[in-house]
Amino acid sequence: MRAAIYSLVSIIIRTMSRISIILNILLVTETWCSSRLCFSALSCKKAIVIHFSN
C-alpha cells in the first residue's frame, strides 16, 4: 500500500515538473516574442517550438 502511494506521488511530482518546464518555455517564448519585433508572434512561437523540439 505504501509503495503504491509513493509511486503515485513520484508520478505527480514528475508530471508537475514537466508542466512547469513547459510553462517556463511558454513564458520565455512570450517574453522573447514580445521583446523582438517579429513579423507575427505566431511564426516566432513556431520557430521557438521547432527549436526546442529538435
- What is the distance between the alpha carbons of residues 26 and 32, in angstroms, rounded to a whole number? 10
- What is the distance between the alpha carbons of residues 27 and 21, in angstroms, rounded to a whole number? 10
Q: What is the pLDDT of residue 51?
A: 67
Of the chain, the percentage scoring pLDDT greater than 70 comes to 63
Q: What is the pLDDT of residue 36?
A: 57
Domain span holding position 23: 2-53
Convert the pLDDT of each residue in 1-53 to its tens digit.
Answer: 889 999 999 999 999 988 888 888 888 777 766 655 555 566 666 766 766 77
Q: What is the pLDDT of residue 29?
A: 75
Provide the grid cell at 17.
515538473
Q: Is 38 exposed, middle or buried (0-12, 13-18, 19+ CB in 10 A)?
A: middle
Number of independent structural domains in the chain: 1
